């Protein structure tokens, strides 16, 4: 009888101890302390002219990938609030991720492609050259002369569609690749959540990142002659630009 009492007492003590332990979800919060955030990003064009086929790629290490494209950004302007990019990132005492950025854009006449190039390395261009220097887009109903229209005011629906398609096609492989070699690092923190980070294209085509929490960071760009090929819905080449 005395043995049974001891066993029951031990069992109740174990049950009390178990219920006093934090839940598994509490353990996860204490262990990781990771919070997901989003931030808004815009491009301010202070370059000598309008820019077209603008593409922004953001990677938070190998956790999040975000991108945005703009057909055209006029000189001295930036996209309005409804056309900001939205990027995702984590913060917390045990997070090890970093924010990596790449910006690509074309001059107003679509003759030159600029891409951010930290440390003045050729890694991004070497990667693009390795998969072929020609940017190919496919547009239903495309006809000869579409690139000429794109090099103009780019106000028509077809030209605007082509500009967005060129922006996306230029950075597709870089977005899909796991590597961040050639990307610019600019860290986002808790203070940047739901705030606007502004990426400024300067008058000399260098680029500066401005955010709430971080000191402005600067990077140079590299440029290459634009080579663009347009195909229609049947896969036929209907227009192309040549390297000058």
Lowest mean pLDDT among 67-81, 97-111, 136-150, 186-200: 136-150
Q: What is the pLDDT of residues 29-82, one digit of tens each?
A: 444 689 999 999 999 999 999 999 999 999 999 999 999 999 999 999 999 999
Token code pair at residue 21: 């332990």
In a domain, 14, yes or no: no
In a domain, 30, yes or no: no
Residue 131 — pLDDT band, cuts 50, 70, 90?
Answer: low
Element (H, E) at 35: strand 35-45
For residues 219 and 202, what is the distance between their CA atoms, to the nearest angstrom?
Answer: 10
The structural domain count of the chain equals: 1
How many CB atoms sit inside 10 A of residue 82's CB? 5
In a domain, 221, yes or no: yes
State the pLDDT at residue 5. 45
Domain hosting 173: range is 36-240
In a domain, 177, yes or no: yes
Report the CATH number that the domain containing residue 42 is assigned in CATH: 2.60.40.3820
State the pLDDT at residue 96. 86
Q: What's this model's pTM, rounded to 2 decimal places?
A: 0.83
Q: What is the pLDDT of residues 78-106, one digit of tens each?
A: 999 999 999 999 999 888 899 999 999 99
Between strands 135-138 and 228-231, the pairing is parallel
In a domain, 9, yes or no: no
Element (H, E) at 71: strand 64-73
Residue 23 — pLDDT band, cuts 50, 70, 90?
Answer: very low
For residues 209 and 149, what is the distance between their CA atoms, to the nearest angstrom?
Answer: 32
Strand partners, 36: 90
Return phi, psi of residue 231, to 5°: -115, 150
């Amino acid at each position: 009888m005395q043995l049974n009492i001891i066993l029951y007492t031990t069992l109740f003590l174990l049950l009390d101890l178990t219920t006093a332990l934090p839940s598994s979800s509490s353990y996860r919060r204490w262990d990781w302390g990771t919070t997901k955030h989003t931030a808004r990003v815009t491009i301010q064009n202070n370059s000598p002219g309008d820019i077209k086929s603008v593409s922004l790629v953001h990677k938070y290490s190998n956790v999040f990938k975000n991108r945005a494209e703009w057909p055209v950004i006029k000189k001295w302007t930036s996209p309005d609030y409804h056309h900001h990019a939205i990027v995702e990132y984590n913060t917390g005492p045990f997070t090890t991720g970093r924010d990596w950025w790449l910006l690509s854009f074309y001059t107003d006449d679509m003759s030159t492609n600029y891409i951010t190039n930290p440390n003045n390395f050729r890694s991004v261009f070497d990667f693009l050259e390795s998969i072929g220097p020609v940017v190919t887009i496919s547009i239903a109903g495309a006809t000869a002369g579409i690139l000429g229209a794109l090099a103009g005011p780019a106000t028509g629906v077809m030209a605007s569609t082509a500009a967005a398609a060129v922006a996306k096609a230029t950075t597709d492989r870089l977005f899909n690749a796991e590597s961040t070699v050639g990307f610019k690092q600019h860290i986002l923190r808790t203070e940047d959540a739901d705030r606007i980070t502004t990426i400024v294209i300067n008058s000399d085509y260098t680029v500066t990142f401005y955010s709430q929490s971080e000191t402005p960071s600067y990077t140079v760009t590299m440029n290459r002659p634009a080579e663009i090929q347009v195909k229609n819905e049947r896969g036929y080449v209907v227009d192309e630009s040549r390297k000058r």
